Amino acid sequence: RELMAKGERQLKMIDKLLVDKTELTRQCEQLVAELRAKLVYWTGDQKMPPLEGCGDSAIDGSSRSEWEATKTKEIKESTIRGLEPEVERILSEGRKEKQALLERHREALEAQRAELLAQHSLQIEMKTEAIKKEYESLLMVERDRARRQVTEEAEKWNEQLRLLRSSTQQEIAEMRARAEEERNARDIEFSDQARVEEHKRLKEVEVRYEEELGRLKAAQEGEVKAMKREEQLEREAWMENIRGKLDDDLKEKTREIRRECEEERDRQVAVVVDRLSREVVEAEHRAKASTAREWGEQEAGLLKDIEDLRTKVEGLEKEREGSLSVVKKLKGDMETSERELELARESLTLAQQERKDMLLAQERERGKALVELEGARRESIDEREQLRREKAQLEGELAAVRSSTKEKIDEQQVRCDEAIRTLEGRVRRMLKRKDEVIEELRGKLTSAEAFAGELDGIVSRQREEIRSLTVSGTGRRSSRKGK
């Protein structure tokens, strides 16, 4: 716009110069007309009034022609000298303004380019920050979802452990209640038998019963020791197996992301298994202790009965010495006591069988508890496998999110590159347009210079015309004067 305004100003100045040139031409023509009128006046033998500033030189014809030529030359030279500095000044100002405009345009382009680069860099930084924030927000969402899922799984696992613990405690309480009922039933049965057999025991029955009791006690102790050894070996093997499996599970899970949760879970499982094992063992010990205590109480009662029988036998022996009828009666009583002893042996065998059945039931309950624990362990292994699969799924989703984020970043980078290329193309087009405008202004300036040259040519031609007219007028005057 400034260059166009400058061109318009130059065109207006050229128009003004043309007007001035036209005015000068008119004045020159008027001066020539006056000179011609003077010549006509002089050629018509009329007295010419003296010209101002000429003095006596205007009277002479040759002096007058010289004076006219000199004046014409001075007017033309003064006109040319007056126009040349103005034209030169205008041209120099045009060149200076053109150079200043070019410099300002170059500075404006540099500033615009720097501003565009700064804006583009700022946009890239803002978009990069936005992408980073979006990526971090996605990571936070995925992390929160995984944390919630792990928390839900841990709560579910704790709930299952709580249910398993409550069911195990309930089963143990039921086992204790059944054992207490059986013990009470045996106490009632043995007390009834003791009361029935109290007055029917004799010395032979006492000896046989003591022998049988010693044999049974030795067999029972051997059986109890064997059962204890078997239970100890089974418990140690089972605990070693469980410990090995738990150690293997812990070693396998140490490299996983949810290591702490799984270690805590394994620890809880181990604690529950250990607690259940201790409770089962304590229940067995309590059952065995109660059985041993019952047997001890029964044995003490039997020993007391034996002592009573001994005292009675002593009394009977004393009485036997005094009465044969009492001996016969005692023989009958002895036969009855033998039969009762057989019945007692049978009842003892039944009690031992019931005890074995109770031990087998306890073994079955323990095996059932072990099976349930094994099922819980397998369920925990299944849950771990499910957690591992969920972890792999989460890793896949995270990889997909990363790939999509990377694709978004690449697309954003491509868009930024395209924007940069577009801006560069626009800047190049603007620079090209500026160069075209500058070339156009240069062409206009060249045309203006050519037009000024044409004006100079016109002025020079007018000078030649004026000179030729002056020379021709001088020649005519000289010829007329000669005539």
CA-CA distance, 402 to 271, in Å (whole number)? 41
Residues 6+ apart with CB under 8 A from 283: 172, 175, 176, 362
Helix (H) or strand (E) holding 231: helix 203-253
Give the pair of three-digit tokens for residue 456: 């100079």
Greatest alpha-carbon pair distance for the chain in Å reads 230
Rg (CA), the chain: 69
Q: Cβ neighbours of residue 444 under 8 Å, at least 6 residues apart?
A: 7, 10
Token pair for 295: 């047997």
| CB-facing half-sphere around the CA of 190: CA atoms within 13 A | 22
Residue 254 backbone dihedrals phi, psi, to 5 degrees = -70, -25
Report how far residue 367's alpha carbon sits from residue 16's, in angstroms, rounded to the nearest whole number: 125
Of 51, 33, 452, 448, residue with least CA distance to 25: 33
CB half-sphere exposure, 56, CA atoms < 13 A: 0
Nearest CA to 250 out of 159, 416, 384 is that of 384
Q: What is the DSSP letter of 50?
A: P
Residues of the chain with pLDDT under 50: 45-59
State the pLDDT at residue 58: 43
Residue-wise pLDDT for 198-233, tens only, equals 666 656 656 665 676 667 667 667 776 776 677 677
Model pLDDT for residues 62-75, shown as the tens digit of each residue:
676 777 777 767 76
pLDDT value at position 49? 47
